[in-house]
Amino acid sequence: MSSQADRQTSVPVDAVDVVSPADAEASEAAPAVLTVRGLTISVRDLELVSDVDLSVGPGERVGLIGESGSGKSLTALGILGLLPEDVTAAGSVRLSGIDHDLIGAGERRLSRVRGNHLAMVFQEPMTALNPTMRIADQVAEAMLVHRTQSNRRTARAAAVELLDRVQLTGIARAYPHQLSGGQRQRVVLAIALANDPALLICDEPTTALDVTVQAMVLDLILRGVTARDSALLFITHDLAVVATICQRVLVMYGGRVVESGPVREVFTNPRHRYTEGLLAASDLEAADSGPVGTSEPVRRRLPTIQGTVPAAGHFPDGCVFRTRCPHATEVCAERPPWTGDQTRGFACHHPAGADDV
């Protein structure tokens, strides 16, 4: 990784940019890289994501978990300003070092941030690359757009090096269709990391991949962000992945953040009933804490969360989980207040681990 260090010293502008202490309002210990306040995403009159608050500290790795339809991908696209037509976002998204809110910013300003301070890896690698362009050119373009490489030749050399770093050697002149899904996802990762972003957002980057290559891609993501001191916002429905790579986790359901906190705390001591159900259904503990090699594989039925996720925008008022929650009472028709603070908290009237119900 020594070449990595070289690279970072050769591009000092970014580093200075990112740690500029301009953002005073979100300063607790160090200023957060990303601060999202009251992010609400809607299509016409339907709210798909409501009032999401989240912050990611410098170099911090945060997981965002939830079932499909919980609004986690939309949250990511909302942060990037890449929502589909007709879908609108309100609230506030601030990046440290950027002197304007990303919500409501014009394309010109947003495009300077995207792929530079803020980068993203998408879920579907098979379609994420331009089929008519060589992959090195697609990686090089990311640097040319932001002028982090002055000309085509050096950009291409840097691209080849970036591809090396994600263990794609000697295929710079290939076209996407000549690569496997895992290889393509690594190209997308190389593009995302090209300008040493302050924050990398990964939206289920391994879901579409074979199990055998998932671990490799995860490893490369982790190495990529640690080498650059980039923060990571990792979106997934896979609790085991969050447990391995994230420090903090946010649980989303029905377009809302229902619980957040350090991974260990949330996973060992869930407070929101949805988190509790999710953990029970995923058998994470059995997999994690079962003594290795001592007993037969434990054969028991996983508990499931009853009912199904409502269609987007059709969650109940009050607590979004109350239609599926075994502990729900009348009080749940009122929106549960946030208990705790930004780093550790939940929104539930009948939290687990308390002595009621």
Q: Which residues bind another protein (CB under 8 A)?
A: 43-44, 46, 48, 68-74, 77, 80, 82, 84-87, 107-108, 111-116, 119-120, 122-124, 127-133, 141-142, 145-146, 175, 177-178, 188, 191-192, 203-204, 311-313
Nearer CB in complex with another protein: 168/332: 168
Given a contact cutoff of 8 angstroms between Cβ atoms, the answer to whether 307 and 324 are in contact is: yes
CB of 57 to another protein, least distance (A): 23
Nearer CB in complex with another protein: 62/119: 119
Given a contact cutoff of 8 angstroms between Cβ atoms, the answer to whether 61 and 304 are in contact is: no
Specify the 3-state DSSP secondary structure of 89: strand
CB of 191 to another protein, least distance (A): 6
Which token pair is 298? Answer: 């434990």
| DSSP assignments along 259-321, one per residue | EEEEHHHHHHS--SHHHHHHHHHHTHHHHHHSPTTTSPPP--PPP--SS-PPPTT---SSSTT
CB of 44 to another protein, least distance (A): 7
Nearer CB in complex with another protein: 185/352: 185
d(CA 268, CA 180): 37
Nearer CB in complex with another protein: 262/310: 310
CB of 297 to another protein, least distance (A): 31
Give 55's strand partners. Answer: 35
Nearer CB in complex with another protein: 62/113: 113
d(CA 208, CA 245): 19
Nearer CB in complex with another protein: 128/216: 128
- Which residues make Cβ contacts (< 8 Å) with residue 48, sequence separation at least 6? 41, 42, 71, 74, 87, 255, 312, 313
CB of 52 to another protein, least distance (A): 14
Sheet holding 46-56, edge to edge: 46-56, 34-43, 87-95
Nearer CB in complex with another protein: 194/263: 194
Q: What does R_g of the chain's alpha carbons equal in angstroms? A: 21
Nearer CB in complex with another protein: 119/332: 119
Given a contact cutoff of 8 angstroms between Cβ atoms, the answer to whether 213 and 164 are in contact is: no
d(CA 67, CA 238): 9
d(CA 160, CA 140): 9
CB of 24 to another protein, least distance (A): 27
CB of 210 to another protein, least distance (A): 19
CB of 252 to another protein, least distance (A): 10
